[in-house]
């Protein structure tokens, strides 16, 4: 199951995001989109192996404060084709 996290602090690392979500289950991947200068864009995607673990992580982490920023954590939605 893919999770979307927004309003991330720009200084957070992929490893820190992975470590946070691993508290709830096995993480398959962490994607941190970057701008053309290589800076974090303020959001990330986390793929978790088990949907049950992902739902628990969403419940526990949504609205939490990470380095002074309140993050929004939700199930990722599929992009619509253009």
In a domain, residue 66? The reply is yes
Q: Residue 47 is part of a domain; what is its CATH number? A: 3.30.70.330
Q: Which of 20, 71, 27 is nearest to 46 (CA)?
A: 27
| pTM of this structure | 0.90
Residue 50 falls inside a structural domain: yes
Asked whether residue 40 is domain-assigned, the answer is yes
Tally of structural domains, the chain:
1
pLDDT in tens, the chain (82 residues): 999 999 999 999 999 999 999 999 999 999 999 999 888 999 999 999 999 999 999 999 999 999 999 999 999 987 766 6
HSE at residue 21, side-chain half, CA atoms within 13 A, is 32
């Amino acid at each position: 199951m893919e999770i979307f996290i927004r309003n991330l602090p720009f200084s957070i690392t992929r490893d820190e995001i992975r470590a946070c979500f691993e508290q709830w289950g096995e993480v398959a991947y962490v994607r941190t989109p970057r701008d053309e200068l290589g800076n974090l864009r303020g959001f990330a995607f986390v793929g978790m192996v088990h949907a049950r673990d992902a739902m628990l992580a969403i419940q526990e982490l949504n609205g939490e404060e990470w380095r002074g920023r309140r993050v929004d954590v939700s199930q990722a939605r599929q992009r619509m084709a253009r």
